[in-house]
Structure 1
Amino acid sequence: MKALSLLICLLFSGILQAQEVKIAFQQQLPNSHPRYLTDSNGKSETLNLIEKEDWAKDVFEKLKKRTDLYAN
């Protein structure tokens, strides 16, 4: 029973630590630019949104125009 209690405590402390790391990462990002964080599964959804929605396409084109200055 002690081992199970210890395991549960370690599990919860690991979960809490992961949340702190996530919050710290978000706080390091500057607020001066828009950002959209997604994983590889969300990439296709984002591309579909850009293709189907005029507002998303407009936002994407404006961001691309700003970042193309640094890419070339």
Structure 2
Amino acid sequence: MKFCKEITMQHTALAPDQAMAAHPLEYSDPELRVYADEQAQDILDTVIWYMPLVLPCMAAILIFMLAFIAVFMA
């Protein structure tokens, strides 16, 4: 006697490499492409200006956290 049902899984989503390949290289609306490119450029420009300040601060915090863990564990 068989007590277990056979389960078949159906995948509805594409694999990541296939999903990226299926991504359109051209937009149907040219204004949407311009808007999307502008938004991407604006976000990148705003983040880049903060990086020289954020990276050293986060590194210092990480060093102090690691030192605290070392002292606490000793």
Q: TM-score, normalised by structure 1?
A: 0.37
Q: Answer with 1 or 2: which has the greater Rg.
A: 2
More helix by share: 1
